[in-house]
Amino acid sequence: MQGFFRAMSNEHRVSSDRITDWLFAVLIVAFAVLATRCLYLQFFRNEYYTGLSSRQQQTVATISPQRGVIMDCRGRVLAASEEIQTVFVEPRVLDDPKETASELADVLDIGAHNICRIITESENPGFTKIKVGVDTNEAIAVRRIHGVGIQSDWGRHYPMGPLATHIVGFTSADNRGLEGVELAYNKDLAGSAGRNIFISDAFRRPIRLREHDSDVTDGVGIILTIDATIQQFTREALLEQYKSYHAESAMAIVAEPKTGAILAMVSLPDYDPANFNTADANSLRNRTITDQFEPGSLIKPMVMGGAVEDGIVSLKEKIFCENGNYCGKGFGCISEYKNGFGYLTPREILVNSSNIGMAKVGQKMGKDEVYKALRNFGFGKETGIDLPGEVSGLLWPPAKWTGYSVTRIPFGQEITVTAIQLARAFCILANGGHPVSMHVVKAVVDNEGNVVKLTQAPPPLAYCIDPDVAKWLVTDAMVGVVNEGTGKKAKLKKWQVFGKSGTANIAKVGERGYAEHQYIASFIAGAPVEDPQLIVLVSVRRPDMSLGKGYTGGAISAPVAGKIIEKTLTYLENRQGSQKTYVAADTPKVH
């Protein structure tokens, strides 16, 4: 019996030793794993955790740059940023929110109960806005209150409201450009932020400066080609006609033909950039560069110019215009707007705006020559104007043309264009056939007022059309349009105006054909004819025909173009103090 218990005791001792050995082995493995982990953290992850610890002990303060100013060509401010002081509280450090609210109420002229409610209902224990836009005295006073601070930021303002809104554009709440020049030149205007790194406490509050990481660089200034006075003339004249005819929309461009500088650009309906977020979405786009439409008779001078330049049509040639009804196999039937015509010269075709005359010119040229003439003026591709959102319009390659195309495109159907493309084409004609580059930014200036970038006209080396043909179109054919034809309402006593009207049908949406009684009434004019200083485009979409006041470009848009030209040339003469109407102004400095 004693032997049995002795055996059991020995067996138990062996079992205990085995458990001890296993526990010891487990401990060794555990310590080995722990040691390995420590070595890994010490030697391989040292930089990561050191950086993490450092970041937890520091606060980065970003210094926002002042966004650059946007001015017109005379130095008048269109957009600028001003410093805004915001009062905030840090709820987590307040001993008594009611007492803090009472102290703030005395300074900010806000009810204490309102302030207390804002504090107690705040979901952010570290930052709660109380009042935005306090003055200097209020800012000094609230700094003395425990748990209250002042945050400085920049707010964008537009002192001229909707005057040039589609050119200037607007910014987001965090000062990023969203439209217009604000978007196109956002990187230049925005500048770059500065950074200071502070040692902070457990609540992430700065204690002392650790290092100055980078300097703040304010945005540069932008000088536009726009003249706010001319912009005002243009907008007022267009707005009056837009409202008078209950139109869907309207647009106008005033350009300098020698350089392509835009002096005014209006798109209606418009909006106040300070309240863009509440504006109708239909008013936000700049229709002069985003909306494409069939130009109608506005395209005729460019096609006729190509025919004359290539010798396909001579100036003295008479073309039979079929007395108002022209039908044929492969191209259907073409009629005139009102009366039919017999034999007309190229000049008379343009003066009377004969569709049949232009159709026959197109047949004489053939599709390749018509296409070439229009491409020479840049149709079917973007102008490259320095604004976002421009579209290219539509000019099909000749391979896609039909028998209808070669007779319809010469009088402005089966092609879509933008207002800025049309303005450029007429600038080219007024500039003796030389190409121009359409632009709205005259110069970029640094914070010292020095010009760092200047937009200049390209040297007159190439031609889009023969200079003699361009001169004939401007000084003869399009003068005849104003003096004898469809543009009489643009005629002025003091200056000889040249121009061309266009009344285009609006195509149906989602189906073939044109909508009944829906038109785009346009007119493009220039003056003075002996030395053109201005090209003015006016276009009114869907005027209300039920008013009985007309719907053609000659009736609606020609008088507006004439009024803009008269006011603008008078203004320029008075500004220069002489009869010279040179537009370009000295670039103002930004201070």
User: How does pLDDT run across 470-482, given as a tens digit for each residue?
Assistant: 999 999 999 999 9
The pLDDT value recorded for residue 60 is 59
Residue 288 has pLDDT above 80, yes or no: yes
The pLDDT value recorded for residue 15 is 63
Please indicate whether residue 440 or residue 281 has the higher confidence score (pLDDT). Answer: 440
Q: Which long-range contacts (CB under 8 A, 24 or more apart) does 368-373 make?
A: 368/398, 369/306, 369/307, 369/310, 369/312, 370/303, 370/306, 370/406, 370/409, 370/410, 371/395, 371/397, 371/398, 371/401, 372/306, 373/302, 373/303, 373/305, 373/306, 373/307, 373/309
The mean pLDDT value for 44-67 works out to 64
Residue 533 has pLDDT above 60, yes or no: yes
Residue 405 has pLDDT above 90, yes or no: yes
Please indicate whether residue 33 or residue 280 has the higher confidence score (pLDDT). Answer: 280
Could you read off the pLDDT of 89-124 as tens digits, one per residue? Answer: 888 888 888 888 888 888 888 888 888 888 888 878
Ranges 160-169, 235-244, 519-528, 582-591: which has the least confidence: 582-591
Could you read off the pLDDT of 340-385 as tens digits, one per residue? Answer: 999 999 999 999 999 999 999 999 999 999 999 999 999 999 999 9
The pLDDT value recorded for residue 459 is 65
Split at pLDDT 50, 70, 90, the class of 452 is: confident
The mean pLDDT value for 495-521 works out to 91
The pLDDT value recorded for residue 57 is 58
Residue 252 has pLDDT above 90, yes or no: yes
CATH 3.40.47.10 fits 63-224, yes or no: no
Query: 561 to each of 22, 40, 288, how far by Cα in Å?
Result: 101, 79, 16
Mean pLDDT for the chain overall: 87
Beta-carbon neighbour count of residue 23 at 10 Å?
10
The pLDDT value recorded for residue 583 is 44
Residue 196 has pLDDT above 80, yes or no: no
Give pTM, 2 decimals: 0.83
**323 dihedral zone (left: phi>0; alpha: psi -120 to 50; beta):** left
Please indicate whether residue 162 or residue 450 has the higher confidence score (pLDDT). Answer: 162
The closest of 324, 332, 310, 380 to 353, measured between CA atoms, is 324
Do the strands 128-132 and 148-157 form a parallel or antiparallel pair, or are they unpaired? unpaired
The pLDDT value recorded for residue 462 is 83
The pLDDT value recorded for residue 578 is 46
Which of the given ranges, 53-57, 123-127, 328-332, 358-362, has the highest pLDDT on average?
Answer: 358-362
The pLDDT value recorded for residue 29 is 75
Residue 190 has pLDDT above 80, yes or no: yes
Query: Rounded to an integer, what distance in angstroms lies between the CA atom of residue 591 and that of residue 223?
Result: 13
Percent of the chain at pLDDT > 70 equals 86
The pLDDT value recorded for residue 108 is 85
The closest of 220, 269, 204, 266 to 243, measured between CA atoms, is 269
SS3 content of the chain, % helix, strand, coil (to 5): 40, 25, 35
> In whole angstroms, what separates CA 526 from the centre of its chain?
25
State which fold the 228-272+288-576 domain adopts. Beta-lactamase (3.40.710)
> Taking the domains of the chain in order of start, what are their residue ranges?
63-224, 228-272+288-576
The mean pLDDT value for 124-136 works out to 81
The pLDDT value recorded for residue 585 is 43
The pLDDT value recorded for residue 507 is 86
Split at pLDDT 50, 70, 90, the class of 65 is: confident
The pLDDT value recorded for residue 457 is 66
Ranges 23-37, 60-74, 374-388, 399-413: which has the least confidence: 23-37
